[in-house]
Amino acid sequence: MWRVATASLEDRVEDLLGRMSLPEKVAQLRSLWLATDEAGQVAPHQQDFAAIDVDWQELIKDGLGQLTRPYGTAPVEPRAGARRLAELQRTVVAAGRFGIPAMAHEECLTGVSTWQATIYPSPLCWGASFDPELVERMGAQIGRTLRLLGVHQGLAPVLDVARDLRWGRVEETIGEDPFLVGTIGSAYVRGLQSAGVVATLKHFVGYSSSRAGRNFAPVSIGPRELADVLLPPFEMAIKAGARSVMNSYTDIDGLPVAANQGLLTDLLRATYGFGGTVVSDYFSVAFLHSLHHVATTLGLAAAKALESGIDVELPSAHAYCDELVGLVESGEVPVEVVDRAARRVLAQKCELGLLDPDWSPDPPLLSEDGALDSAEGRELARELAERSVVLLSNRGVLPLRPGTRLAVVGPLAGDPQAMLGCYSFPRHVGANYSQLPLGVEVPSVVEALSQDPAGYQVSYALGCPVVGGQDDDIAAAARVAANSELCLVVLGDRAGLFGAGTSGEGCDVTDLRLPGRQEELLEAVLATGTPTVLVLLVGRPYDISGQVERLAGAVCGFFPGEEGATALANVLGGRVNPSGHLPVSFPGAGGSQPGTYLAPPLAQHSQVSSVDPTPLFPFGHGLSYAPASWAKVESRSGQVWPTDGCSRLAVSLANPSALATAEVVQVYLHDPVAEVARPARQLVAAQRVELAPGEARTVVFELHADLTSYVGADGRRVVDEGEVVLEVGASSADIRACLSYQMAGPRRYVGFERVMQPEVSFEPT
């Protein structure tokens, strides 16, 4: 029956499961990573496991659950990679008694992480765009590329909420606000899965709250922070239909997440009703033995992980192996937990068509004309990059005048890879192959401005590399700046892995000053008196408080992808009106961390501490060449808000200029009195509003009372009575109107079923 495509999924899975031996079931719970000898380190402690001798034929004799990164481990021409994957699948099918194919997975955070595929902007850019519809379109395009390659599962999005800017993986996050992260992340999930690909939510949960922003460091947070800040994005994405979850590496209050049944089973399964698969972050099952030291052997580590709720061990079989089989056979591990995990894996394979009799191992790329870096993909990458550029400050020098004598200096001005985050293929894998071309066209800032139709007269000087540098080179850059009308200083990060960059996985920092001698370079250019615009290409915000008042302007692009330089040139030249808003705050003087806008009053500036955590540029900040006019903010439902009902809020905007503009209307909740200390304000709604020249529009938010809920003193989520205030503005510090409401009615307890997003509609004005 299990081969009958018209039979029910449950009947097919139960029929197949009932025919399988214990070793065959366990084989479905593991993956295989056929890394080449030349491949560099692209996963934590990868070198610790590289020496384990794996007999490929022996491993797959009972079947195989997954194939790890067949395209994204080493450079491979796409069609050659497709042929190799087809060959691997045929081998897997032939080896096992039931001929079950393996699922193939790839990283896809900034597009499919393989050579010659489109490189999209980094997740911080997604957040800066405040445009979930565009992110959903990008996700769908990435999903179609994965399907073209014969890949079934994508390891994205990252739903960790940024909590400490020193953490190297801030560049992979969408931002510091759970509502924004959940809204944008859910859009990516919907897009990716619309192509028939499984999206994997990372990293469940707590990873971004590590002590001192150090990768893998322990997490010491309370259940309220977990519930109100870190979990909501996962809840929203699961509601959006996400079909896989990846655990966090960290421990929370001493208990590693990979062995935390309370999170992986009780909460995720029983409370959230999640029915997909839980896959381990790479080596995290083995880490229970080798790093966390909560298991004496790999087999016992496997037992803890499996019983806690991890269905599939990635990236290769190290713990879900013979010792685990022996523990089940001896009765030390219940066979039911193996059946539970195997049932989920087989159900997913059935949903993907891998159990159907007409399944083919040949990826569609082998029979279709498909480019991994298509014109449509590049257009999406450019549009998202343009919408994510944030104009931080402007003293009237932007947009640039045509024909300007322009000095472009700095370590990232002439480097195409300045546009790319650490999970792009060139930075994640290609960095280990010095002679490898990028595989896609990525212009540098200098190239984009030199070729710009505005006819700038561009002079370029390096000044200094990202880290290090010589006095003479800094002086030479200053001379180039002095001989120009305007200077663009392009500074920031070089993405990398495990210390090979200044931003990225394992590239944590102790402070938030610009890397290397970049601040010296900036000071040398400022000293010339030439008007200077700072262009930041970064994976995290840096402390530029000492220079901002002397800058003629400042622009942030984060890591904007392969079309990033073109997008920056379009924004700098005024062909595109900047409309990005910060998904993370820029720190003030000293860059004190951890710091986030999402904090109670005692975490704000006060007289009881000499440290002022006020950000230089707050969450949600973003300027425009032609800002929208805010005409009216009004309540459409009075000042009484039922505890089980909705409030309607309308914001009317107009564009009096001759330039198209966009505003991000942000609605924050302020709860004057609650059972517990609450954030001074918390985002509960946001909408990007596009306005043509002369156009006026009204955006209407229907806000359910559930959006006011929080975890109270008894640990339960409550919608409370009493006063709440909706603060409406253009950033968390630029509030245009405050509307007070009285929450009336019975106190309500809510859970996973609660409403987490507003309904939004538009009216002509």
Q: Is the model's pLDDT at 380 over the cut of 80? A: yes
| pLDDT band at residue 368 under the 50/70/90 scheme | confident
Q: Tell me if 98 is assigned to some domain.
A: no
CA 206 to chain centre: 14
What CATH number is associated with residue 542? 3.40.50.1700
Q: Tell me if 718 is assigned to some domain.
A: yes
Statement to judge: residues 492 and 541 lie in one domain: yes
CA–CA distance, 373 with 370 (Å, rounded to integer) = 9
Per-residue H/E/C for 416-445: HHHHCCCCCHHHHCHHHCCCCCCCCCCCCH
Mean pLDDT across the stretch 24-28? 98
| pLDDT band at residue 236 under the 50/70/90 scheme | very high
Q: Is the model's pLDDT at 104 over the cut of 90? A: yes
Statement to judge: residues 516 and 643 lie in one domain: no
Statement to judge: residues 595 and 637 lie in one domain: no
Q: Tell me if 696 is assigned to some domain.
A: yes
Confidence at residue 203, expressed as pLDDT on a 0 to 100 scale: 97
Statement to judge: residues 556 and 699 lie in one domain: no
Confidence at residue 757, expressed as pLDDT on a 0 to 100 scale: 97
Q: Tell me if 215 is assigned to some domain.
A: no
Q: Is the model's pLDDT at 40 over the cut of 70? A: no
Statement to judge: residues 740 and 649 lie in one domain: yes
**pLDDT-above-70 percentage for the chain:** 98
- Least confident range from 36-45, 257-266, 435-444, 723-732: namely 36-45
Q: Is the model's pLDDT at 39 over the cut of 60? A: no
Q: Is the model's pLDDT at 51 over the cut of 50? A: no
Buried b (16+ CB within 10 A) or exposed e, 538-548: bbbbbbbbebb
Is residue 476 within a helix (H) or strand (E), and if so which, with residue range? helix 471-482
What CATH number is associated with residue 736? 2.60.40.10
Statement to judge: residues 640 and 526 lie in one domain: no
Q: Tell me if 106 is assigned to some domain.
A: no
Statement to judge: residues 594 and 491 lie in one domain: yes
Confidence at residue 52, expressed as pLDDT on a 0 to 100 scale: 47
Confidence at residue 48, expressed as pLDDT on a 0 to 100 scale: 61
Q: Is the model's pLDDT at 309 over the cut of 90? A: yes
Statement to judge: residues 641 and 735 lie in one domain: yes
Q: Is the model's pLDDT at 37 over the cut of 60? A: no
Statement to judge: residues 532 and 637 lie in one domain: no
Confidence at residue 486, expressed as pLDDT on a 0 to 100 scale: 98
- For residue 546, give its domain range: 387-603
Task: Please give the DSSP secondary-structure letter assigned to residue 603.
Answer: G
Confidence at residue 603, expressed as pLDDT on a 0 to 100 scale: 80
Statement to judge: residues 561 and 634 lie in one domain: no
Statement to judge: residues 665 and 580 lie in one domain: no
Statement to judge: residues 546 and 651 lie in one domain: no
Does residue 309 contact residue 264 with C-beta atoms inside 8 Å? yes
Q: Tell me if 528 is assigned to some domain.
A: yes
Question: Among candidates 447, 446, 458, which has minimal Cα distance to 403?
Answer: 458
CA–CA distance, 630 with 360 (Å, rounded to integer) = 57
Q: Tell me if 369 is assigned to some domain.
A: no
Query: 390-394 and 198-204 as β-strands: parallel, antiparallel, unpaired?
Result: unpaired
CA distances from 61 to 15, 33, 315, 323, 329 (A): 21, 16, 18, 17, 19
On whether the pTM is more than 0.75, the answer is yes
> Helix axis angle, 375-388 relative to 132-148, nearest 10°?
150
Confidence at residue 47, expressed as pLDDT on a 0 to 100 scale: 61
Question: Among candidates 495, 515, 514, which has minimal Cα distance to 506?
Answer: 495
Q: Tell me if 102 is assigned to some domain.
A: no
Residues 6+ apart with CB under 8 A from 737: 633, 727, 728, 729
Confidence at residue 56, expressed as pLDDT on a 0 to 100 scale: 80
Mean pLDDT across the stretch 567-583? 98
Q: Is the model's pLDDT at 237 over the cut of 60? A: yes
Instruction: Give the tens place of pLDDT for each residue, 599-624.
Output: 888 888 878 888 888 999 999 999 99
In order, the DSSP letters of 76-114 are: --HHHHHHHHHHHHHHHHHHSSS-PPPEEEEE-BTB--S
For 38, the token pair is 């030349």
> What's the domain count of the chain?
2
Buried b (16+ CB within 10 A) or exposed e, 595-604: bbbbbeeebe
CA–CA distance, 184 with 131 (Å, rounded to integer) = 7
Confidence at residue 50, expressed as pLDDT on a 0 to 100 scale: 57
Instruction: Give the tens place of pLDDT for each residue, 243-298.
Output: 999 999 999 999 999 999 999 999 999 999 999 999 999 999 999 999 999 999 99
